[in-house]
Amino acid sequence: MTDNSKSNNGDTSADIGLEPLLQAHIGRKLREFYDSAAREPVPDRFRLLLDQLENGDLEGVEAAGKADRA
Amino acid sequence: MNEEISRGLKDQLLAEIPSLRAFALSLAGIADRADDLVQDTLVKAWANADSFTRGTNMRAWLFTIMRNTFFSQYRKARREVQDVDGEAAARLVAMPDQMSHLDFTDFKAELDLLPADQREALVLIGASGFSYEEAAEICGVAVGTIKSRVNRARRRLIERLALQTDEQAVDTPNSTKA
B21-40 confidence digits (pLDDT tens): 999 999 987 878 899 999 99
pLDDT for the residue A2: 47
pLDDT for the residue A24: 87
Within an 8 Å CB–CB cutoff, is residue A59 touching chain B? no
Interface contact B25-A29, CB threshold 8 A: no
Interface contact A11-B151, CB threshold 8 A: yes
Q: Is B74 left (phi over 0), alpha (psi -120 to 50) or beta?
A: alpha
Nearest CB to B104 within list A29, A49, A68: A29
For chain B, residues with pLDDT lower than 70 are: 1, 74-103, 165-178
pLDDT for the residue B121: 97
* Three-state DSSP class for residue B152: helix
Nearest CB to A8 within list B13, B21, B125: B125
Note the residue count of chain B.
178
CA distance B96 to B161: 12
What is the least distance, in Å, from the CA of B153 to any CA of chain A?
10
- What's the CA angle centered on B43, arms B11 and A60, to 5 degrees? 100
Note the residue count of chain A.
70
Nearest CB to B126 within list A22, A27, A40: A27
Residue A46 pLDDT greater than 70, yes or no: yes
Q: Is B176 left (phi over 0), alpha (psi -120 to 50) or beta?
A: beta
Pairs of residues, one from chain A and one from chain B, whose beta carbons lie less than 8 Å apart: 121
Residue B20 burial (10 A CB sphere; 0-12, 13-18, 19+): buried
Q: Regarding predicted confidence, which is higher, A13 or B52?
A: B52
Residue A5 pLDDT greater than 70, yes or no: no
pLDDT for the residue B36: 94
Range with lowest mean pLDDT among A35-39, A63-67, B161-165: A63-67
What is the least distance, in Å, from the CA of A22 to any CA of chain B?
6
Residue B146 burial (10 A CB sphere; 0-12, 13-18, 19+): buried
Interface contact B132-A33, CB threshold 8 A: no
pTM of the model: 0.74
pLDDT for the residue A15: 46
A1 within 8 A of B126, measured Cβ to Cβ: no
Nearest CB to B42 within list A19, A34, A50: A50
**Type and span of the H or E element at A36:** helix A20-38
Residue A43 pLDDT greater than 70, yes or no: yes
Interface contact B127-A30, CB threshold 8 A: yes
Residue type, B4: E
Confidence of residue A22 (pLDDT cuts 50, 70, 90): confident
Residue A3 pLDDT greater than 60, yes or no: no
> Which of B86, B100, B102, B89 is CA-nearest to residue B162?
B102
A-chain residue closest to B129, CA distance: A1
pLDDT for the residue B128: 96
Among B61, B137, B154, most A C-beta atoms within 10 A, so best to mutate, is B154
pLDDT for the residue B96: 40
Average pLDDT, chain A: 72
B160 within 8 A of B111, measured Cβ to Cβ: no
